[in-house]
Amino acid sequence: MLENRIVDSFGRPLEYLRLSVTDRCNLRCFYCMPDERMKFLPKKELLSYEELGFVINELVGLGIKKLRITGGEPFVRRNMIGFLKGIVESHPELELGITSNGVLLGKHIKELKAIGIQKINLSLDSFDPSRFLRITARDDFQKVYGCLLDLIESGFQVKINCVVMKGVNDHEIPDFAEFARTFPVSIRFIEEMPFNGHGKQRGFLSYGQIKSILEEKYGTLDLQQAEISSSSFDFAPSGFEGSIGIIPAYTRSFCGSCNRIRISATGQMKTCLYGKNVLDLRGLIRSGKREEIKHMIINKYKVKEENGLQAEKGSELVSMSMIGG
Ligand code: SF4
């Protein structure tokens, strides 16, 4: 009988799956995609919805409580709403969230509400349309901003993920923070990571530097109690409708409570974002070895890397769109 609580050698339980459903995206953020020549994978190389559903069932059977659907951009994949509806119907107990860039999401807000999906992480790095264009190589700011306001008005739990880069958008940190004064959203400032196909950050600003910029404006920020495995350090200055947080995604000072694994759209499992692929689920599924998968996931999770710094050694830093964030 398989135990329903998988714990790694550091006592961290497996509770959270970040599942990518596509490597494709309709934006070209320079800190993620090398450039326009990005080659996307043929459809047959991606897990089908049936295979993705099977993987989710297996992981739920192993005790995951939280599932985040990521990409590339999930809504560039056809019939995404149908797939999400299926997850909610099969696993109503799961805490289900989606990470999206908001370009296509707006037209699905009513359907998402009807399915009962509440948690949306929206990637947005600038409130300035021309800077948005420079960062993403697409002129879609108005669509994303409109989607953001519609999500808030429709009562979704919205987190805005803003990758902060020196000399690019760091001067907008106060504008983003002020947005959380007015609206009930959680702004998360994310350290730039080297998952851009060439491994070099454009303008790295650390957790400490981002916090100093915020404290220049708001004074000393008191850390809020967060979910034990949260990667965000959150603050709620007085008078704010929402909150502001910082994710030290490159400093990696939160690995001690890491409870997640990632599975890419091609079925490659990682026990750490910075680590190597540790298991080829697609290969197992397509070679008729579905019954072996649970055991193999358990064995790989038990030897999960201690932290992202250790995991990065000898690991290739590909584009985030290939991993799923
Ligand atoms: S860097 Fe790796 S170990 Fe650390 S929190 Fe991220 S996935 Fe977990």
Split at pLDDT 50, 70, 90, the class of 134 is: very high
Tens digit of pLDDT for each residue in 236-262?
Answer: 999 999 999 999 999 998 899 999 999
Residue 258, ligand 1, Cβ within 6 A: yes
Confidence (pLDDT) at 6 = 95
- Written as one letter, the residue type at 47 is L
pLDDT in tens, 39-89: 899 999 999 999 999 999 999 999 999 999 999 999 999 999 999 999 999
Residue 65 to residue 82: CA distance in whole angstroms: 21
For ligand 1, pick from 305, 312, 315 the residue to mutate: most ligand atoms within 8 Å of CB: 305
Quick: pLDDT tens for 260-269. Answer: 999 999 999 9
What are the C-alpha distances in Å from 323 to residues 70, 95, 171, 268, 295? 9, 21, 29, 8, 23
- Binding site membership of 274 for ligand 1 (Cβ less than 6 Å): yes
CA distance linking residue 179 with residue 245, whole number of Å: 13
Averaged pLDDT, 114-126: 97
Domain assignment present for residue 114? The answer is yes
Asked whether the beta carbons of 187 and 233 are under 8 A apart, the reply is: no
What are the strands, taking DSSP E only, across 172-289?
186-191, 233-235, 243-247, 260-263, 268-270, 279-280
Is residue 158 situated within a structural domain? yes
Q: CATH number, domain at 193?
A: 3.20.20.70
Quote the domain boundaries for residue 276. Answer: 16-323
Q: Does the CB atom of residue 308 touch ligand 1 within 6 A?
A: yes
Q: Is 103 a member of any domain?
A: yes
| Domain annotation covers residue 8 | no
Residue 52 CA, ligand 1 centroid: distance in Å: 23
**64 found inside a domain:** yes
Among 17, 263, 274, name the best residue to mutate to test ligand 1's pocket (greatest count of ligand atoms within 8 A of Cβ): 274
Q: Ligand 1 mean position to 21 CA, how many Å?
A: 20
Which ligand 1 atom is nearest residue 308's CA? 1
Q: Identify whether 2 is part of a domain.
A: no
Beta bridge mates, 246: 189, 233
Structural domain count, the chain:
1
Distance CA(165)–CA(170), nearest Å, equals: 6
CB 76 within 8 A of CB 45: no
Q: Whose CA is nearest to atom 5 of ligand 1?
A: 255
Q: Report d(CA 182, CA 243) in Å as an integer.
A: 10
Please report whether residue 4 resides in a domain: no
> How many C-beta atoms surround the C-beta of residue 282 within 10 A?
21
Residues 6+ apart with CB under 8 A from 223: 233, 234, 235
The end-to-end CA distance of the chain, in Å, is 33
pLDDT grade, residue 205 (50/70/90)? very high
Contacts of 131 (CB under 8 A, 6+ apart): 125, 168, 169, 172
Distance 118 CA to ligand 1 centre (A): 25
Separation of 302 CA from ligand 1 center, angstroms? 15
Nearest CA to ligand 1 atom 4: 255
Q: For ligand 1, is residue 255 a contact (CB within 6 Å)?
A: yes
**Residue 204 reports pLDDT greater than 60:** yes
Residue 1: the pLDDT is 45
The alpha helices in the chain, defined as continuous H runs, are: 49-61, 80-90, 109-115, 129-136, 141-153, 173-182, 207-218, 281-286, 293-302, 308-312, 320-323
* Contacts (Cβ under 8 Å, ≥6 apart) of 246: 188, 189, 190, 191, 207, 210, 211, 214, 232, 233
How many angstroms does the Cα of residue 114 sit away from the middle of ligand 1?
33
Question: What is residue 3's predicted lDDT score, i.e. its pLDDT?
Answer: 52
CB 261 less than 6 A from any atom of ligand 1:
no
Residue 245 near residue 232 (C-beta atoms within 8 A): yes
Task: Give the mean model confidence (pLDDT) for residues 172-178.
Answer: 98
In the chain, the percentage of residues whose pLDDT exceeds 90 is 85
Helix (H) or strand (E) holding 123: strand 119-123
Say if 5 falls within a structural domain: no
Sign of CA dihedral 302, 7, 63, 269: negative
pLDDT at 35 over 70: no
Asked which of 188-192, 243-247, 291-295, 320-324 is least confident by mean pLDDT, the reply is 320-324
Q: Indicate if ligand 1 lies below 6 Å from the C-beta of 250.
A: no
Residue-level pLDDT at 4:
63
272 CB under 6 A from ligand 1? yes
